[in-house]
Amino acid sequence: MCIAISTIPIGIIGGIEGFESSFLLIGIIFLVTFVVSIMISYLITRPLEKLTDNIIDISKGKLDVTLASSEIHEINNLTDSLNRIMASLKLAIHKVGVKKGEIFGDNEKGKEVTMNKQDDLFDSISGWTWETDSKGNYTFCSGNISKFLGYTPEDIVGKSFFDTISVENVEKSKQIFNEAIKNNSPINNLENWIVNKNGEKICVRTNGMPLLDESGNLLGYRGINTDITTEKEAENKIKELNTKLSDLKTEITELLNERNSEKEIASSETNSKKQDEKLEEHKIDYIFIFDENANILACTDSMYKKLGYSKNEMLSLNITDFDALETMQDIKEKIDNAKKNSHFSFKTIHKRKDGSTFLVYENFQYIKDKNSFRCIVKAD
């Protein structure tokens, strides 16, 4: 505006003296205006810069700062207000009895201490923390991930949650993660084998919570991966030992059963000899033991001698092999009667190996504790 007004007399002078004089006068006016504006700008900005520096010093706890006065009335008002605030603050500190260092800490040092405490906390757990966006891409990862995977947070941020998971676990993890995203629900105790930077696998347990905005929309997930490799290896060893123990128990049971069978056979042979001795006294020809299917389990020596078989041959026979009169159905009926009434007697015909026969009197007796039968035979 000043320049515009100044052009009025220039125009008048130009009409009288000519255009050359008017152009010279315009140049002088612009030069003077430029110099004056720089001086005014310096007089305004310099006090403001000093005041800004003083405020920064005060924020760091330097309450002995001297605030410089200015030729500008408004800046002096700000300076007076700050002086009153510092005076009140000094008085409050004096009355409370605390030190300036307890109130004004170095902000950078405070941040460093906070970060160190956070790192110590992360290092104290057997795992690392993370955050993802709603698509499962990492947006944050704690520094101690390098201890477990060999990657830095910078290596991980931007990658997908599934990039480090072993191939055989990816589909299961995607299904669980997508289901959680669909329902905005937590991820609880998801176990995965993941691959570190060296290509080795470690087992982790993942727990995560959904991050929601004010409208309830999913922003992503925040969680922690805990290294459970040692626990998992111990669990697998326990399963392996249990399997071996089960196999060993089976072997022991089989050995015991075999041993009991040997004892039973030995006992049967001993009883057979004793029974042979008794047969002589009671005029009983022989005794044999059989099961529900009429298979011979044991017999006295006199039986296989009487029928003309070897002992091994005798123990491989069924009653129907040497009973010339009874069918298998008949034998079954007599076995059922013996089981029902404890014993059953009848007459039949026994056949020797050479085909000759003789009439006998048989008495079936049920041995309940062994679920087997004893037959006492006397030639009729």
Which pLDDT score is estimated for 279?
Answer: 44
Which pLDDT score is estimated for 7?
Answer: 53
Residue whose token pair is 């059922």: 336
Which pLDDT score is estimated for 1?
Answer: 47
Q: How many CB atoms lie within 10 A of CB 62?
A: 13
CA dihedral 293, 297, 298, 303 (to 10 degrees): 40
Closest CA to 139 of 223, 47, 50, 39: 223
Amino acid at 357: T
Among the ranges given (40-49, 116-125, 314-323, 338-347), the one the predictor scored with the smallest mean pLDDT: 116-125
Residue whose token pair is 């679920």: 371
Domain boundaries, the chain: 2-101, 111-227, 270-379
Which pLDDT score is estimated for 257?
Answer: 73
Which pLDDT score is estimated for 113?
Answer: 47
Which pLDDT score is estimated for 74?
Answer: 64
Closest CA to 223 of 152, 136, 123: 136
Q: How confident is the model at residue 271 (pLDDT cuts 50, 70, 90)?
A: low
Q: How confident is the model at residue 288 (pLDDT cuts 50, 70, 90)?
A: very high
Which pLDDT score is estimated for 94?
Answer: 61
Does the fold of domain 270-379 match that of domain 111-227?
yes
User: Who wins on pLDDT, 119 or 227?
Assistant: 227
The answer to whether the beta carbons of residues 285 and 302 sit under 8 Å apart is: yes
Which pLDDT score is estimated for 249?
Answer: 81
pLDDT at 11 over 60: no
pLDDT at 281 over 50: no
The segment with the largest mean pLDDT, out of 47-51, 56-60, 73-77, 357-361, is 357-361
The answer to whether the beta carbons of residues 44 and 72 sit under 8 Å apart is: yes
pLDDT in tens, 164-174: 898 888 898 88
The pTM is what?
0.38
The answer to whether the beta carbons of residues 67 and 51 sit under 8 Å apart is: yes
The two beta strands, 127-133 and 218-227, are antiparallel
Report the C-alpha gap between 255 and 248 in whole angstroms. 10
The encoded tokens of residue 239 equal 């399963």
CATH superfamily of the 111-227 domain: PAS domain (3.30.450.20)
pLDDT in tens, 113-145: 444 555 555 555 668 899 999 889 999 998 888
Q: How confident is the model at residue 284 (pLDDT cuts 50, 70, 90)?
A: confident
Which pLDDT score is estimated for 244?
Answer: 84
Q: How confident is the model at residue 37 (pLDDT cuts 50, 70, 90)?
A: low
Which pLDDT score is estimated for 12?
Answer: 52
Q: How confident is the model at residue 253 (pLDDT cuts 50, 70, 90)?
A: confident
User: What is the rounded average pLDDT for all residues in the chain?
Assistant: 78
Q: How confident is the model at residue 209 (pLDDT cuts 50, 70, 90)?
A: very high
pLDDT in tens, 139-159: 999 888 888 899 999 999 999
Average pLDDT over residues 220-247: 86
Which pLDDT score is estimated for 102?
Answer: 52
CATH superfamily of the 270-379 domain: PAS domain (3.30.450.20)
Provide, rounded to the nearest whole percent, the portion of the chain with pLDDT above 70: 61
The encoded tokens of residue 120 equal 């110590």
DSSP secondary structure string, 275-316?
HHHHHHHHT--EEEEE-TT-BEEEE-HHHHHHHT--HHHHTT
**CB contact set of 65 (below 8 Å; sequence gap of 6+):** 54, 57, 58, 86
User: Who wins on pLDDT, 207 or 13?
Assistant: 207
